[in-house]
Amino acid sequence: MIQSNMAPLGMAVTPHHLASESALAVLREGGNAIEAMVAAAATIAVVYPHMNGLGGDGFWLIMPGKGDPIAIDASGRAGSLANIDFYQGETQIPHRGPKAALTVAGTVSGWHEALALSAELGGTPLPLARLLRDAVRYAADGIPVTASQASATRSKREELQHQPGFSALFLPDGDVPAEGSRFTQPDLARTLSLLSEEGLESFYRGTLAHHLAGEMVNLGIPVTLADLQQQRASRVKPLHVRHSEGDIWNITPPTQGLVSLAILGITDHLDMANADEAQTIHRIVEATKKAFALRDRHITDPRHVVDDLQALLDSDLLTTIASQIDDNRAAPWGTGRGPGDTVWMGVMDSSGLSVSFIQSIYHEFGSGVVMPGTGIVWQNRGAAFSLDPDHLLALAPGKQPFHTLNPAAARLKDGRTMVYGSMGGDGQPQTQAAIFTRHVIQRLPLQQAVSAPRWLLGRTWGQTSDSLKLESRFAPETLERLRQLGHEVESLPPFSEVVGHAGAIVRHNNGMFEGASDPRSNGSAAGF
């Protein structure tokens, strides 16, 4: 079995090896984990353009060597023109096109806030131009098209080719770019260069902001210059669950961090250490159903959350829920929230600073709208809003949409620190649970825990089925046992992208770093 990568001074794990190398180069030059992550975030926006970008949102979970973790919410709000009347005649918010591009893109504000925090932690900051240098070059000179990008472009061509700017960028020469061909993004290179020169604030309050706002008017996007100018990432106290193996943190609403913590909190009462493969899957899936129910009751814009979610996690509720899980029968459940294309990345440095990070444009290619002259693909995160005024997720100007995004981190009782996460919409909390359970509780080696076959309860891209989908690498007897328990089981190809691109880094007590990347991605665990 493939082994984890280990290194003594620092480690970066991303789903694209060029982003890992961008982070590693910054670490080698004396930059800290936050600066390295900004470099990785900029690079992966270029090399995985179908999954994330400057036109999306992001979330940071930052663990100092000692002291409390800090989270950064870099998600944008619905534009001031985005009200229910704007969608008159629609039964739901469109998933593609200018009407889907209804929220401010927050990710760049997150880079800015993270670098501000980095400066507060001390040391000599690296220039912004240095952090964005790789991304600028890759956008200008070109990158080899991944199988993931080629596949996503091919499958979404019919749906997206008529959206503003899409074909000009993603269908060069009028066709889907072949895997391994050179893909250039000259407009994005100029945008990144502008940010290098003017600073990240330019995205919201400078030259770039004014350009974006003008194009939004032309395209009929319900976001204004004032909306851009008001965007600021915020530092928040992350949610926390005390687990028998240590302390685990995740992000507050509007993300589904609550779900990821609840699953691990529930299964902590179910003897996962001695569970066989079928039992492990069954228990996590049943806990997932319960956690999704909590999500649907509680998670919305944090200003609209009624209950104290930390108090909920600290109460006996998870113990009670665990007692309701039937080891011999799958419970019925409704529907999930569906898929999402995303990137999770982790970086740790020699000071003990750790970063768990995620950024996304929601569905592959987001709204499908490429902002003219910028190379920026705008997200469709606002499609998560409801047009029902009485719904928990009802659309309103200035409101944050629901997010599947949730990077995780843990301080284990044996002294190790761990950052981990995955892309994949509904799959994120499930994959987090799989990796944590396999590695921390069942003592599977880290890379094996990430590479091992996975599952997804819920819908995948373009499908309406909410079945339990499992990679075909599972043993036939495992699949049969799950069917006997009442699960509606479907098979996925081996190493399927549907179950997400996961990754993890562990800092051991002797200071050594261990990293694992997902063979389902183009990633790497790069250390020095």
| Those residues with Cβ within 8 angstroms of residue 198's Cβ, 6 or more apart along the chain or in another chain | 206, 207, 208
Angle between helices 33-47 and 17-28 (to 10 degrees): 150
Tokens 């569905």 belong to residue: 363
* Residue 148 φ then ψ, to 5°: -65, -45
Q: Which of 239, 257, 250, 234 is nearest to 418 (CA)?
A: 250
Q: Which of 267, 342, 431, 478 is catalytic?
A: 342
**421 near 273, Cβ under 8 Å?**
no
Which strands form 468-471's sheet, in the order they lie side by side? 455-457, 468-471, 489-492
**394 near 388, Cβ under 8 Å?**
yes
Tokens 């039964």 belong to residue: 91
Q: 489-492 and 468-471: which strand pairing?
A: parallel
106, 394, 457, 496 from 74: Cα distances, Å: 5, 21, 28, 29
DSSP designation for 179: T
- The answer to whether 255 is a known catalytic residue is no
Catalytic residues: 342
